[in-house]
Amino acid sequence: MNCVDWEVNVLKIPIKLTMFTEVTATSRHYVDRLFDPDPQKVLQGVIDMKNAVIGNNKQKANLIVLGAVPRLLYLLQQSSSSAELRTECAVVLGSLAMGTENNIKSLVDCHIIPALLQGLLCPDLVFIEACLRCLRTVFISPVTPVQLLYTDPTVIPHLMSLLSRSQRTQEYITQIFSHCCKTAEHQTVLFNHGAIQNIAPLLISPSYKVRMQALKCFSVLAYENTQVSMTLVNVLVDGELLSQVFVRMMQRDKPIEMQLTAAKCLTYMCRAGAIRTDDNCIVLKTLPCLVRMCSKDRLLEERVEGAETLAFLMEPDVELQRIASITDHLVAMLADYFKYPSSVSAITDIKRVRHSHSLFKVLQGIPQSRQRGASFIQ
């Protein structure tokens, strides 16, 4: 390094320190205002903090380091706090949760989940929705232990009772359920507390977000679960069998994520023995839908999910394998996939490898006589 470079670098140091000091001072000002004895000034301070952290991960990290979270949680839990203040605290905490995974870890370490769950006992709907929105953001993070949802046995039944309050409570709660149902034990807990009866009517909600989250719930509930699947097959939604509701959701004019998730629901019900493999809803609807998901005009993530679900559906059934092999030229379509040039993106290449594995699982299930022309199979 020459003298000029050294001098330039030295000059940069005080500038960076000054900028850091200014940011810290600003952040400290926001936190200090949370301790003002005037409740109205505290409320305005929380509102200003909310506006400051929107889209600003650095500000979020600074506020967490400076101790904003414990104070916000304290204000949120105080019965003397106004409904507006408690709601604004929940909104700010939700915004902090939308930052990095380290932010989520810090929030969880501050026991944000028990505090927000306790807040759901409040009768104020706006506050309840703010708490649920923040809980949803925390729980969908991969770093949050989902078991925290099941620690208190009163939580799940209370969440079920809140489903009828508004479309927002329906969206947030079903999304929490779909992300926190990871084991057979979780499935049983949700099933025993009336998940099927409470969530089924949401499949015909006027809100697409509610319908989609309800559908995802049934997908995770039915996966490798005979009890749930056997119950689902007899459920009526507005006078229509649930399986037929899923079939309508697989129509080509529906969004891809809805088609795919509905196909997964029927696939899991079929694999659990609740629907016969020769049922029309499987042979004529579910299987063709999953084959469509493997086509090259679909996004890579959609092809991966479609191929994995298709392989799972037809794995134990020779007749389904035969039908799949002649549906929309599936073998030729899968063979064409391997002719695509590799992407320059490492992440995309990893997804392609996962997709390739899924496709091979599909092809392994197809009779060899149907694989002529797919010369890439060794």
pLDDT category at 366 given cuts 50, 70, 90 is: low
Tell me the CA distances in angstroms from 277 to 72, 285, 322, 326, one per residue in order: 54, 12, 12, 17
Average of pLDDT values for 315-329?
79
Q: Give me the pLDDT at residue 99, please.
A: 83
240 DSSP β-pair partners:
237
Q: What span, in angstroms and rounded, lies between the C-alpha atoms of 100 and 134?
A: 14
Q: Extract the tokens encoding 335.
A: 């063979």
274 φ, ψ (degrees, to nearest 5)? -80, -25
Q: What percent of the chain has pLDDT over 70?
A: 80
Cβ count near 155 (within 10 Å): 19
Q: What is the pLDDT of residues 13-24, one digit of tens each?
A: 343 333 334 457
Q: What span, in angstroms and rounded, lies between the C-alpha atoms of 344 and 166?
A: 46
Contacts of 188 by beta carbon, 8 Å cutoff, 6+ apart: 227
Residue 114's Cα: distance from chain center in Å?
Answer: 21
Give which of 54, 59, 50, 58 is closest to 87, Cα–Cα: 50
Strands 236-237 and 240-241: antiparallel
- Examine the pLDDT at 279 and tell me if it is beyond 60: yes
Q: How does the average pLDDT of the chain come out, rounded? A: 86
pLDDT category at 9 given cuts 50, 70, 90 is: very low
Q: What is the pLDDT of residues 68-85, one digit of tens each?
A: 999 999 999 999 999 999
Q: Extract the tokens encoding 94.
A: 């939700």
Contacts of 300 by beta carbon, 8 Å cutoff, 6+ apart: 348, 351, 352, 355
Q: Give me the pLDDT at residue 318, please.
A: 87
Tell me the CA distances in angstroms from 302 to 181, 243, 347, 374, one per residue in order: 22, 22, 15, 22
pTM of the model: 0.85
What does the DSSP assignment read for 71-84? HHHHHHH-TTS-HH
User: Higher pLDDT residue, 371 or 233?
Assistant: 233
Instruction: Write the burial class of residue 345 (CB in 10 Å: 0-12 exposed, 13-18 middle, 19+ buried).
Output: exposed
Q: Give me the pLDDT at residue 341, please.
A: 47
241 φ, ψ (degrees, to nearest 5)? -60, 140
Q: What span, in angstroms and rounded, lies between the C-alpha atoms of 163 and 344?
A: 45
Q: Give me the pLDDT at residue 372, please.
A: 38
Task: Say if CB 77 and CB 85 are below 8 A apart.
Answer: no
Q: What span, in angstroms and rounded, lies between the C-alpha atoms of 87 and 79?
A: 12
- Examine the pLDDT at 339 and tell me if it is beyond 80: no
SS (H, E, C) 289-350: HHHHHCCCCCCHHHHHHHHHHHHHHHCCCHHHHHHHHCCCCHHHHHHHHCCCCCCCCHHHHH
Q: What is the pLDDT of residues 49-67, one digit of tens each?
A: 999 999 899 999 999 999 9
Average of pLDDT values for 90-116?
96
Average of pLDDT values for 314-330?
79
Q: What span, in angstroms and rounded, lies between the C-alpha atoms of 298 and 287?
A: 16
236 DSSP β-pair partners:
241
